[in-house]
Amino acid sequence: MDRETRLRRLGFRAWHRGTREADFMIGGFFDRYRDSWSDEELTWFETLIEEQDVDIMAWAIGTQETPAQFAGPQMDAMRKLDFIDIPR
């Protein structure tokens, strides 16, 4: 699959998680960083979004320990939460 198709598919999945909070956190993270990701980083994100939203959110806000496969610079970026644009 070409990169553009892959990004569109991931974008949809990132923004259609099931709860508004997860949509903002995961979708916002995707929108902020997707253009700078390598293929390896895209694969990391594809694997991450297979996990449960409550787990992803807990890892991002630090209430649960992040599994080794997701620990690293991308999860560190997600933990900053500076990518979330909360609509008013």
Residue 48 lies in a domain: yes
Residue 32 lies in a domain: yes
Residue 7 lies in a domain: yes
Number of domains forming the structure of the chain: 1
Question: Is 45:51 a contact under the CB 8 Å cutoff?
Answer: no
Report pLDDT digits (tens) over 37-67.
999 999 999 999 999 999 999 999 999 999 9
Residue 19 lies in a domain: yes
State pTM to two decimals: 0.90
Q: What is the CATH number of the domain that holds 72?
A: 1.10.150.250
Residue 35 lies in a domain: yes
Q: How large is the average pLDDT for residues 54-82? A: 95
Over the chain, what is the mean pLDDT? 93
Rounded Cα distance between 41 and 85, Å, is 22
Rounded Cα distance between 80 and 59, Å, is 12
* pLDDT of res. 87: 63
Of the chain, the percentage scoring pLDDT greater than 70 comes to: 95
Residue 64 lies in a domain: yes
Give the residue among 27, 68, 31, 76 at the shortest CA–CA distance from 49: 27
Band (pLDDT 50/70/90 cuts) for residue 76 is very high
* pLDDT of res. 46: 96
